[in-house]
Amino acid sequence: MLICPVRQEQALINRLLNRRMTSKCACKDWGEAAATCAHHQNNNKEVHYVSLEDAYIRHVSERWLDFLLGEDREKRLTYFHILGINVLNLDYKLFGDDGSKRAGIIYNRFFRTAIKYPLKTFFDSHDKVIVDNVFHDSDEELRRDEYFPWHTPFRVNKDEDAKVRFQTDGIQFLDSKHSESNDPRSHLIQYIDLILGLTYNCLHHEGKSPDRTAITKKSHPLVSRLVKAPKNKNSSYRYYKRQSISFFPKTGIAGADFSAENAFYTERDLLIERHEQGTLSLDFGE
Cα–Cα distance between 120 and 116 in angstroms, integer?
6
Mean pLDDT over the full length of the chain: 89
Per residue in 95-132, pLDDT tens?
A: 887 877 888 888 998 999 999 999 999 999 999 999 99
Within-domain flag for 193: yes
Q: How many domains does the chain have?
A: 1
Per residue in 43-62, pLDDT tens?
A: 999 999 999 999 999 999 99
Within-domain flag for 212: yes
Which range of residues forms the domain containing residue 198?
A: 2-102+113-131+173-276
Within-domain flag for 235: yes
Q: Over the range 116-139, which residues count as b (16 or more CB within 10 Å of their CB) and which as e?
A: bbbbeebbeeeeebebeeebbbbe
Number of neighbouring beta carbons within 10 Å of residue 110? 16
Specify the range with the lowest mean pLDDT, choosing from 15-29, 140-154, 184-198. 15-29
Residue 64 has pLDDT above 50, yes or no: yes
- The residues pairing with 80 across neighbouring beta strands, listed in sequence order, are 2, 243
If phi > 0 it is left, if psi is from -120 to 50 it is alpha, else beta; for residue 238 that is left
pLDDT at 56: 94
Helix axis angle, 55-69 relative to 210-228, nearest 10°?
20
Per residue in 190-240, pLDDT tens?
A: 999 999 999 999 999 987 789 999 999 999 999 999 999 999 999 999 999
Cα–Cα distance between 54 and 182 in angstroms, integer?
23
Within-domain flag for 36: yes
Contact (Cβ atoms closer than 8 angstroms) between residue 168 and residue 133: yes
pLDDT at 179: 93
Residue 176 has pLDDT above 50, yes or no: yes
Within-domain flag for 166: no
pLDDT at 87: 84
Cα–Cα distance between 273 and 220 in angstroms, integer?
8
Within-domain flag for 216: yes
pLDDT at 160: 65
Within-domain flag for 139: no
Within-domain flag for 204: yes
- When pLDDT is cut at 50, 70 and 90, the band that residue 253 belongs to is low
- State how far the alpha carbon of 83 is from the alpha carbons of 111, 112, 186, 207, in Å: 9, 11, 21, 22
- When pLDDT is cut at 50, 70 and 90, the band that residue 267 belongs to is very high
**What's the average model confidence in pLDDT over 172-187?**
97
pLDDT at 171: 97
Residue 31 has pLDDT above 80, yes or no: no
- When pLDDT is cut at 50, 70 and 90, the band that residue 282 belongs to is very low
Contact (Cβ atoms closer than 8 angstroms) between residue 191 and residue 16: yes
- The residues pairing with 245 across neighbouring beta strands, listed in sequence order, are 82
**What's the average model confidence in pLDDT over 5-12?**
96
- State how far the alpha carbon of 174 is from the alpha carbons of 1, 78, 204, in Å: 14, 20, 29
